[in-house]
Amino acid sequence: MRKLLFLAPLLLQPAWCQPTATVTGKVLNAITGAPLENVRLKLEGEGQTIYAQSDAHGRFQFTNLHPAQYSISAESAGFLLPGDRGSLSAAPTRIDLRLPADGGPMTGPDGMPHATVTIPMTPAGRISGKLNMPGGQPCVSCRVLVMQKIASPSARTVPDSGVIQMSLSESLNTDARGEFDAARLRPGDYYLGADQPRTGPRDPAVRLTYYPAMLGVDAAKPISIAGGQQIRADFTLLRIAGVHVTGRVVPPGAPDDWHAETDLALMPVRYLPALPANLVTSATGAEFEFGNVLPGKYMLVAQTRAAVSDAALGANQVIEVGATGLDKIEVRLQKLTNMAGALIFGPACASAPAEIAIMETSPLTLPLGRGSRAPVAPDGSFALHVTRPGRVRIDPVFLKNDFGLPDNQIVTTLNGRVLPDRTIDYPLPAGSTLKITVNCNSSGTRSQ
């Protein structure tokens, strides 16, 4: 009887006194390898979230864990979050603390799972500076664009497409002192563009300006950022008087079968894919005028609706503005219809179900674009429903049988001419033929 009484406390020992799983580890600077102090660690699993903090040596520990699968991530000011583009730390790190009987790893001496992890964190780069108006006063609530160039996959086949493609990394506004601060940048080369405030009085001669003081991104100076590097970049908006572009809008069909208001936009051709238009006007009748236009090549886009049928009408044409301007040009509207085409598999390719992904980039809606998808019929035909005149990028998406094809094996042509970067200007001329051809090798997978 005494023996049973002696064992009773052990049998009734609460669960929290039993041996449990443990996670220990260290947080390091991914660039220098130095330990990081005061990093916030988050462990998730078993329906709960537990937090810990690294010490002066970068060490941390989670104890009293139930054997299960967990994920761990780290967060610290001045460092990219795990999983951020360019971060050297995966998001999140998976940890298996299951018992061997449940498929887990070997246990420690106490019969319970233990894990040791090292979490590298990439220090974020930073570009800060002050933006001034042409007169030297701070540019308050002005927009600053932080951008990177996109490597053109078609450069091998179309070396000079005439278009510079940019991706927008961050868009921010200056404060009351004209200061801006882009504080979470991954390592790389960046370009800065800035514009005056969109609200309030605007000076039409003040230009979208690129650092250090350029009118085009092709002449802009890149800012190279290493991990954790901080760079100061002050610059001033350019003020340059331009010339006038005048013309008239010509509707299709009956002269009165269109609304009196037409939205028009001018955009430099070389920067169409990613940058906003700063020359937008609205014609209340057939006549229109743009003022303060710098000489160069532009895309002129117009959009309105038919008065009777309410059908969408639009136009898209390239114009060349000279040193004295451009007068009395005609913008001929046409009905915006679906853009028909065909997806063709080469002789060595096995056909596969596909869709066509569409990204619309219109000067009237930039910098945001509109993405959608169009199905491909069994015979390879497709019809792209595009909502606005402008530039459209089209890409085939294979729903089965991943071809793993390089971009130069998917060739897009319009009227037999190869399209740079699979981009097309909409609306198309009447009677146009759009084709996307997929080329494979004899195995039906990829050409080397």
Q: What does the alpha-carbon distance between residue 378 and residue 396 come to, in Å, rounded to a whole number?
A: 14
Other CB atoms within a 10 A radius of the CB of residue 152 amount to 17
At 397, the pLDDT band (50, 70, 90 cuts) reads confident
Q: What does the alpha-carbon distance between residue 279 and residue 281 come to, in Å, rounded to a whole number?
A: 7
pLDDT digits (tens, 9 = 90+) for 352-365: 888 998 888 777 76
Q: Amino acid identity, residue 290?
A: F
Quick check: bond before 187 cis, omega within 30? no
What is the pLDDT at residue 49?
Answer: 93
At 54, the pLDDT band (50, 70, 90 cuts) reads very high
What is the pLDDT at residue 398?
Answer: 80
Contacts of 159 (CB under 8 A, 6+ apart): none
Average pLDDT over residues 332-343: 90
Asked whether residue 37 carries a pLDDT value surpassing 70, the answer given is yes
Tokens found for residue 74? 């780290």
What is the pLDDT at residue 8?
Answer: 39
Q: What does the alpha-carbon distance between residue 148 and residue 343 come to, in Å, rounded to a whole number?
A: 32
Between 101 and 7, where is the model more confident?
101
Q: What does the alpha-carbon distance between residue 440 and residue 266 come to, in Å, rounded to a whole number?
A: 40
E strands, 269-308, are: 279-283, 287-293, 296-305
What is the pLDDT at residue 326?
Answer: 94
pLDDT digits (tens, 9 = 90+) for 179-233: 999 988 888 999 999 999 878 888 888 988 999 999 888 889 999 998 889 999 9
As a whole-number percent, the residues of the chain with pLDDT over 70 amount to 81
Asked whether residue 408 carries a pLDDT value surpassing 50, the answer given is yes
Q: What does the alpha-carbon distance between residue 143 and residue 195 come to, in Å, rounded to a whole number?
A: 5
Q: What is the mean pLDDT of the chain?
A: 82
b vs e for 14-26, b when ≥16 Cβ sit within 10 Å of the residue's Cβ?
eeeeeebbbbebb
What is the pLDDT at residue 41?
Answer: 93
At 271, the pLDDT band (50, 70, 90 cuts) reads low
Element containing residue 319 per DSSP (H, E): strand 312-321
Q: Amino acid identity, residue 204?
A: P
Other CB atoms within a 10 A radius of the CB of residue 235 amount to 20
What is the pLDDT at residue 279?
Answer: 67
Q: What does the alpha-carbon distance between residue 294 and residue 280 come to, in Å, rounded to a whole number?
A: 14
Between 91 and 341, where is the model more confident?
341
Q: What does the alpha-carbon distance between residue 86 and residue 81 come to, in Å, rounded to a whole number?
A: 10
Domains of the chain: 12-121 (2.60.40.10), 125-236 (2.60.40.1120), 243-335 (2.60.40.10), 339-438 (2.60.40)
Strands 125-132 and 230-232: parallel
Per the CB < 8 A criterion, the answer to whether 279 and 290 are in contact is yes
Tokens found for residue 133? 């108006």
Per the CB < 8 A criterion, the answer to whether 215 and 191 are in contact is no
* pTM across the whole model: 0.65
Asked whether residue 13 carries a pLDDT value surpassing 50, the answer given is no
Between 7 and 57, where is the model more confident?
57
Q: In what order do the strands lie in the sheet with 417-418?
A: 381-384, 339-345, 434-438, 410-414, 417-418
What is the pLDDT at residue 413?
Answer: 92
pLDDT digits (tens, 9 = 90+) for 89-129: 546 788 998 888 888 887 777 778 899 999 998 898 999 99
Asked whether residue 16 carries a pLDDT value surpassing 50, the answer given is no
pLDDT digits (tens, 9 = 90+) for 156-168: 334 444 556 677 8
E strands, 160-227, are: 166-173, 179-185, 188-195, 209-210, 223-225
At 250, the pLDDT band (50, 70, 90 cuts) reads confident
